[in-house]
Amino acid sequence: MKNRITLDVTGMTCDGCESHVGDALSSAGLAEVTVDWRRGVASGTDTGSFDKEAASAALESSAYDIVAVSSPPQPSPGTATEVTGDDGYDLLILGSGSAAFAAAIKARDLGATVAIVERGTIGGTCVNIGCVPSKALLRPAELFHESGHSPFVGIQTSAGDVDLAGLIGSKDELVGMLRQEKYAKLLDIYDIQLIQGTARFTGPSSVEVDGRTVNARRFLISTGASPWVPPIAGLDATNYLTSTTALELTDLPEELIVVGANAIGLELGQLFAHLGTKVTWVEALDRIAPFEEPEISGLMRGHLRDQGAEVYEKATAQRAGRTGDRVWLEIELGTDTTRLEADYLLMATGRRANTSGLGLDLAGIETDERGAVIVDAGLATSNPVVWAAGDVTTTPQFVYVAAASGNIAAENALRGAGRKIDFRTMPRVTFTTPAIASVGLTEAAARDTGLPVMTSILPLDAVPRALVNRDTTGVVKLVANEETGELLGAHILADGAGDVIQACVVAMNYHATVDEIAAMFHPYLTMAEALKLAAQTFNKDVGTLSCCAA
């Protein structure tokens, strides 16, 4: 039986190396050989006569060395479809977002044949309706707000009119360009087959696309997630907005109610607030930004209210409706009921996995109570020939997690590599103004582990960069092991927090202590210096130090 195998080869430095290695592998019994010196990978078809020792002997006098040989794991008897015909692939991927393309590129690097099935627009959530379009609107909205609220004495600025339709048009152009360059164009570059249609499992190892059977050795589910809206009486009559449709408005609402004040709700609500809309947030949990440190939630709440917004916490949406051109929402606050009115109602209440209609029950693939595919640390599902990655799974819903997961899942599926995803140093960023960024454990989570915990809290008015910017709304909180000093978590509310947090990610990756962080160079008059000052706060009163004092 023919078996496509992959070899990791060291020592290749040019196109000529590819030819030498390819000849050696062919002489050792490998057919249909391809070699890529840049990736240090060779692959070919073993018809039963390939001998690794013979290949190594053929390369013995050269600078090349075969360091690993692997092949896609063979399916258990009775569980996998025979790969035959033009539509037989090593890996069939359902979905075309970040997880899908990361997996497809990794699979092609390993010499596998790959097809992607997409029922709608290629590119998934991030480029089409998520990260890219929202941030493309958040930045100009922030600049518009700043132009009308200069904090500097002697500088007068003013904001003009908002052309929301023009802004949306500019966003759409950027989305179209990135979708082409970062997704569609890669299909030809990597020789990835795109199959347009709706895929569903018809058995443990069989998939149909619009009624046509597509065969593969291994499968990857990466169909993403969609906005989820809780059942609220009368809501359907309000023509409510979601995180998708809110980015398509061409007329600026005068008033907006946002239900949900986690990352998506805060970002989109502040987008409209910065453009001049009166925004009211309604959060069912104890506080806005409910999964961040309470110090961050409290400061963010005060900041939004200072900018003219209303914020309701511990508020449960009970009923909704429409009267003429206005929508209304009744919320329960303890024993009281309050009625809110606005031009639009934006539901930012989370996202749920796109698993409906995939036939997962027929494939024996387990999901949780919300429909997300359950995966282990290697992204394997309960079906031995199916992996899953991205927002469709139980892993955190971040695009960089999706991409990393897709890469790992593909290698595990095709080579049995045993790679695992580790979330210990996974950062998260909320693109509000000021931004929120975190990595690692909160104080409460760290104490729940039973570790001895110490914390430092640095207000932004202790950071020279913030003073120079005339913008001191914010805080840096570090969580560390009291006995060893190792940094366990970092939590920042500040301008540029999303960039500063990466230093914390690196520090945690190498198990740095807060004393080691404090001893490192941090450039003066940058927001990154706040990390050094926060680390010093464990042992010193930084308010009594001179500039840059160690």
**Top-confidence residue, 172 or 62:** 172
DSSP state letter for 73 = P
Catalytic site includes residue 64: yes
Position 433 pLDDT exceeds 90: yes
What is the rounded average pLDDT of the residues 20-47?
Answer: 81
Distance CA 207, CA 363 (A): 9
394: its two tokens: 């139980």
Show contacts of 185-192: CB within 8 Å, 24+ apart. Answer: 186/101, 186/104, 186/105, 187/116, 190/104, 190/105, 190/108, 190/114, 191/108, 192/104, 192/105, 192/108, 192/114, 192/115, 192/116
Q: What is the pLDDT of residue 2?
A: 56
Distance CA 167, CA 9 (A): 50
Q: Identify the band that residue 71 occupies on the pLDDT scale cut at 50, 70 and 90.
A: low
Give me the amino acid identity at 380.
A
Interstrand relation of 487-494 and 225-227 (parallel, antiparallel or unpaired): unpaired
Annotated catalytic residue, options 1, 89, 131, 347:
131
**By the 8 A CB rule, do 91 and 413 touch?**
yes
Instruction: Give pLDDT tens digits for 472-531.
Output: 999 999 999 999 999 999 999 999 999 999 999 999 999 999 999 999 999 999 999 999
| DSSP per residue, 137-170 | HHHHHHHHHHHT---STT---------HHHHHHH
**By the 8 A CB rule, do 279 and 256 touch?**
yes
Which residue in this structure is represented by tokens 């020279």?
464
Position 78 pLDDT exceeds 80: no
CA atoms within 13 A on the CB side of 315: 24
What does residue 19 show for φ and ψ, rounded to 5 degrees?
-65, -45
Q: Using alpha carbons only, what angle is made at residue 151 by residues 147 and 154, rounded to the nearest 5 degrees?
A: 95
Position 220 pLDDT exceeds 70: yes
Annotated catalytic residue, options 126, 347, 504, 508:
126
Distance CA 308, CA 291 (A): 24
Residue 417, helix vs strand vs coil: coil
Position 217 pLDDT exceeds 70: yes
Distance CA 95, CA 120 (A): 9
Catalytic site includes residue 17: yes
491: its two tokens: 């939590």
- Residues contacting residue 16 through CB under 8 Å, at least 6 positions apart: none
Annotated catalytic residue, options 300, 312, 454, 547:
547
What is the rounded average pLDDT of the residues 252-278?
Answer: 98
Q: What is the pLDDT of residue 38?
A: 59
Annotated catalytic residue, options 1, 17, 89, 300:
17
439: its two tokens: 């990595």
439: left (phi over 0), alpha (psi -120 to 50) or beta: beta
Residues counted in the chain: 550
**Top-confidence residue, 303 or 28:** 303
Q: What is the pLDDT of residue 76?
A: 44
- Residues contacting residue 303 through CB under 8 Å, at least 6 positions apart: 434, 473
pTM of the model: 0.84
Catalytic site includes residue 504: no
Q: Identify the band that residue 72 occupies on the pLDDT scale cut at 50, 70 and 90.
A: low
448: its two tokens: 């729940």
Q: What is the pLDDT of residue 85?
A: 35
Domains of the chain from N-terminus onward: 3-70 (3.30.70.100), 88-226+353-415 (3.50.50.60), 235-345 (3.50.50.60), 427-544 (3.30.390.30)
Annotated catalytic residue, options 177, 520, 524, 548:
548
Distance CA 533, CA 550 (A): 9
